[in-house]
Chains A and B, each alone.
Chain A
Amino acid sequence: MAIVKNDSVIEQEWITVDAEGDLPASDENLIVPLARFKEERDSLLGRNGGLGVQLNPGDAPEDLADDLDRLSIITVNFPAYTDGRGYSYGRVLRERMGFTGELRAVGDVLRDQILYMHRCGFDAYDLKVEGEVALNKVRAALKEMSVYYQPTGDGRVTAQSLRERRRAALQ
């Protein structure tokens, strides 16, 4: 298991606990599912360690609107890579809600989806392979396409804007 972020393999600094599991000590970094966050919000926010929330398919990222600046990380679970709801969550979090923390894709995260995840606001990927292999997969994935038709929040320039620039330059 390797987490790739910003062109390097990073340490797992977060403990993810599900709906029922026991919470670790207060100074540990903790990620809980959205439902649990909503239920135990006050006590969770009172912890000393870092706090993150995991979104599962069917969750509404909008529910985090009031607490975004208190979250260092949001993980979005892709239980099956064919479940594409997480892509919308990523875009809503980054482009509409302005989330600036780490947005990590977890679950069934495979090389062939990484570029699209990236375009939808994800900046970290928890892959099922180890270190160097994971890093190389992400690097290869991000290089696969260089022309983009659609604007997203990733700032990549679209074919349309390149065309406009070219037309302007030719005038």
Chain B
Amino acid sequence: MYRYDDFDRQLVHERTEQFREQVKRRLAGDITEEQFRPLRLMNGVYLQLHAYMLRVAVPYGTLRADQLRQLGMIARVYDKGYGHFTTRQNIQYNWPKLDEIPDALLDLAKVEMHAIQTSGNCIRNTTTDQYAGAAADEIEDPRPYCELIRQWSTFHPEFTYLPRKFKIAVTGSPNDRAAVKVHDIGLRMHQNDAGETGFEVMVGGGLGRTPFVGKTIREFIGKNDLFSYLEAILRVYNRFGRRDNKYKARIKILVHEEGIDKIRELVEEEWAQIKDGSLRVDDAEIAHYIEQFAPPAFEALSDDDADFERHKSENRRFANWVRSNVIEHKQPGYAIANVSLKPIGGIPGDATDTQMELVADLSEKYSFGDVRVTHEQNLVLPHVKKADLFAVWSELDKADLGTANLGYVTDIISCPGLDYCALATARSIPLSQRISERFGDLDRQHDIGELKIKISGCINACGHHHVGHIGILGLDKRGKEFYQITLGGDASQDASIGKIAGAGFSEAEVVDAIESLVTKYIDIRESGERFIDTYRRVGMDPFKEVLYGDR
């Protein structure tokens, strides 16, 4: 994993001091709220419904045990004993006090963490595959490049006052777990015919009020040229992105209105001018970063472990957990263990300070101190010996972190919604709880199989409902909460934006509506089909029929 050197530490320290000064000036009245607001946003400090909110960056979703432990401490000391893991692999605290935030940031800096650029019209956290460096299907570990992108994008003097926020995601696997196609820039690592590593570059993907799947601006950019190419895209966006309307200011609108060919022309023209300049990164420098992400000291093990097999046959609950939450690792004898933050009836993505500390301890003991945060609001222990899985699960289970539901119908993604968020039009968490309870039976969940439900509490779509197999959008109809269902969304390499099924449902009706969709799917599915596959085969009509047939 990347370790800060003194330059990184100095930078974070200076930023922490800079913000402390800004807070001081704000509290003393030397700067107004209007002047302060963009500054606090750039330090991840929002004002929500009930209190401030602090969003701490988890760069490319990767944490060390000591960092996760510190996040737990922050929850306990500065907040109300819990945090929320987000759809961009970050963590949010819901009750920090402005005058204490500089101290919290100082405590974060001690473990090489910060809240820099987690909000504001700047380049945000670069996200990636939560199984990076572990997955069997990976072409190459994207994280060295994510770290280079992080540095390139942090305190970029030219791109700090963009038309709007800017989000970059990278995948190193052909099975895209990072949703790159619905990001402002999506990067897909692959090799060209000469065997050189590079990236397919996609631009203009995004969700929110006007969802778009990203378009390929360049099939292949070599790894040495990636950063000059990113700079060219950002400069074109900074210069030509719309600034007249906040809801039309993302790069996806620029791409949509000008056309990808025109944007490509502008970017390539810009890139031609800068590609041989100081942003070109040579192989030696890249090698230093690759070195930082070298695999941990795996033992040479057989892929079969007798104890593991025995525990599975003796303990049904453990076997269930392995079946859903444990993923194949590239190293024999090891596995990727998914830690569910979606207990049945619980608040999706929330974790208490004790839970965070437990996962930190487990990662230290069983996963080389490595933990990941997923954009589906779960955690991952990426490098667990098969022989240790039972011990890990036993601990997780005791702490309500062992729910065997990865990718199942109760593994719901939900934004915080009107319970916390000042932008929301409806509550989302209670709905996810009701759905979770309705489908709580594990055998039933397993039978249903992979079904990604994503819930957003307003049209800003932070719950990514557009790319849910079933998406739910919370609206307000004459003062009452009201839910619109979309079907057929997908965040993977087969990205698609969901289609609205029809008229919305009240809070009382919507869980039954979901149930009828699931029942229909079970009814008509063919062997091996997930919900999304059946939907793609039969289309909207059969599902529309069960939702509205007798209306």
A residues whose Cβ falls under 8 Å from a Cβ of B: 57, 81-85, 87-88, 91, 96, 110, 112-113, 115-117, 119-120, 144-152, 159-160, 162-164
Contact = CB atoms under 8 A, between A and B. Distances in A.
A144 B18 contact: yes
B14 A84 contact: no
Contacts of A152: 157-158
Given A144-B18, A145-B18, A149-B151, A84 B238 contact: yes
Given A87-B157, A116-B157, A160-B285, A145 B7 contact: no
A151 B154 CA distance: 12
6 contacts: A85-B239, A87-B160, A88-B239, A91-B158, A112-B39, A116-B155
A62 B542 CA distance: 57
Given A116-B160, A145-B18, A150-B152, A85 B8 contact: no
Interface in B137-161: 151-152, 154-161
A147 B159 contact: no
A83 B161 contact: yes
Interface string B146-184: 000001101111111110000000000000000000000
B315 interface: no
Interface string B4-45: 010110110011001000100000000000010011000000
B235 interface: yes
A151 B161 contact: no
B151 A110 contact: no
Among A88, A116, A117, residue most surrounded by chain B Cβ atoms (within 10 Å): A88
B401 to A, nearest CB: 36
B18 A84 contact: no
B416 to A, nearest CB: 26
B14 A145 contact: yes
Given A87-B161, A87-B238, A151 B278 contact: yes
Nearest to A86: B161
Contact of B7 (A81, A96, A113, A162): A162
Most buried by B among A57, A150, A160, A162: A150
A115 B7 CA distance: 18
B161 A84 contact: yes
Contact of B158 (A82, A88, A115): A88
Contacts of B290: none
Contact of A150 (B121, B156, B243): B156
Nearest to A119: B157
A81 B235 CA distance: 17
A85 B159 CA distance: 9
B273 A96 contact: yes
B111 interface: no
Interface string B109-145: 0000000000001000000000000000000000000
Contacts of A160: 151, 285
A119 B151 CA distance: 16
B243 A57 contact: yes
B120 to A, nearest CB: 10
B137 to A, nearest CB: 32
Nearest to A112: B39
A14 to B, nearest CB: 25
A112 B31 CA distance: 11
A159 B7 contact: yes
A120 B158 contact: yes
Contacts of B278: 151
Nearest to A158: B278
A112 B22 contact: yes
A150 B39 contact: no
Interface string B34-72: 010011000000000000000000000000000000000
B279 interface: yes
Contacts of B277: 151
Contacts of B22: 112
Contact of A163 (B5, B14, B273, B279): B5
B235 A144 contact: no
Contacts of B235: 88
B434 to A, nearest CB: 41
Contact of B11 (A117, A151, A159): A159
A115 to B, nearest CB: 7
Nearest to B37: A82
Contacts of A84: 121, 158-162, 238
Contacts of A162: 7
Given A57-B243, A145-B14, 20 more contacts: A81-B38, A82-B121, A83-B161, A85-B243, A87-B159, A87-B238, A112-B22, A113-B160, A116-B155, A116-B158, A119-B157, A144-B18, A147-B10, A147-B14, A149-B154, A150-B156, A159-B8, A160-B151, A162-B7, A164-B285
Across chains A and B, which 9 residue pairs bring their CB atoms closest together, nearest first? A84-B161, A119-B157, A116-B157, A159-B7, A151-B278, A147-B11, A87-B158, A149-B151, A147-B10
